[in-house]
Amino acid sequence: MSTVYDGESGEFVPPQEIAAAQDESLLQVLGLQVEFRTRDGVAKVLNGVSYHVNAGETLAVLGESGSGKSVTAQAIMGILDTPPAFVTGGSVTFKGEELLTASAERRRMVRGEGIAMIFQDALSALNPVFTVGFQIAEQLRLRRGMGKAQARAAAIELLEQVRIPHAAGRFGDYPHQFSGGMRQRVMIAMALALDPEVLIADEPTTALDVTVQAQIMDLLAEIQRERAMGLVLITHDLGVVAEVADRIAVMYAGRIVESGGAREIYRRPGHPYTVALLESLPRLDLKGQQLNTIKGLPPSLTDIPPGCPFHPRCRLAQDICRRQVPEPVPLDAARSSACHFTGELMDRV
């Protein structure tokens, strides 16, 4: 289902089956492939990632660090550093428009107005030498043609919407003058400034305490309801996902290994990796007992093992798992799992 990359023309040629598969989703990713070309070898970071998000829907992308969650988001936004990163195949469409072959100017226009992103480290993402108010107002002046006073008023209104106390007085403060939670609110305000239709939140509660995490997630949910945005939530926090997600895509070694409705996956997971993730959650009824862990480490992306990449850590692994990469198996109209033994696993759960 991925596009064919033409090395001579430097273009991605979408086959007819991809055009036919595009539906009314705001954002659709099909067969996305990304590799990092380094001195140590070629790292296959994304290996055919496919997911979509609709208006007003929350898609949670789960997985361990290094599974490709953030790289997928960066590829969607067109902000991968090349080199070393190269998109080698796939399709990314926004409202039916192919972005991978779009001009740099067109992709710049889609960023912010169509798709916006909240980065996981607000202190690094914000420019330390400009005030937060200037950084929000600047894009309103450049992209909306507002005058200085109008952009200032709109930026203060955005800061108020994300519940920055005394927003007008803090317009002239610098990022280091805000707490971690307040900086994250500033990042949300910046992402919302151009009224995007899709918001990608890359681990927006990283390094925040539990109370602030809850506040940020409640704020995102409220804003999403008000604006009917599609939300892609990248996280490793299964507790957050259980509360806010409509659908889940579970990633491992650059692949989507399971996807479907959040309730269905939590109730009856269909992939051994998803089962292991859920079993690693702390439980009140197991107080005093050792936490379950997933044995071993994720594979090196420069040396992904043959067959199913999870097989070295999987308790169900058999010979076929070491030889053959499993294709996603449809479990129902909206759910799939890439495991040779999905049926057997679900019978056990």
In a domain, 145, yes or no: no
Domain hosting 26: range is 4-114+194-348
In a domain, 306, yes or no: yes
In this structure, what CATH number is given to the domain that contains residue 23? Answer: 3.40.50.300
Q: What residue ranges in the chain does DSSP mark as E strands?
A: 4-6, 11-13, 27-38, 41-53, 58-62, 85-94, 97-98, 115-118, 198-202, 230-235, 247-252, 255-261, 329-332, 335-337
In a domain, 128, yes or no: no
Q: What is the pLDDT of residue 349?
A: 61
- Per-residue pLDDT of the chain in tens (349 residues, 90 and over written 9): 445 444 444 555 554 444 444 456 899 999 999 999 998 899 999 999 999 999 999 999 999 999 999 999 999 999 999 999 999 999 999 999 999 999 999 999 999 999 999 998 888 899 999 999 999 999 999 999 999 999 999 999 999 999 999 999 999 999 999 999 999 999 999 999 999 999 999 998 877 888 888 888 899 999 998 999 999 999 988 888 888 899 999 999 999 999 999 999 999 999 999 999 998 887 777 777 788 889 999 999 999 999 999 999 999 999 999 999 999 989 887 899 999 998 888 777 6
Q: What is the pLDDT of residue 231?
A: 96
DSSP 40-69: TEEEEEEEEEEEEE-TT-EEEEE--TTSSH
In a domain, 173, yes or no: no
Whether the model clears a pTM of 0.75, i.e. scores above it, the answer is yes
User: How many domains in the chain?
Assistant: 1
Q: What is the pLDDT of residue 11?
A: 54
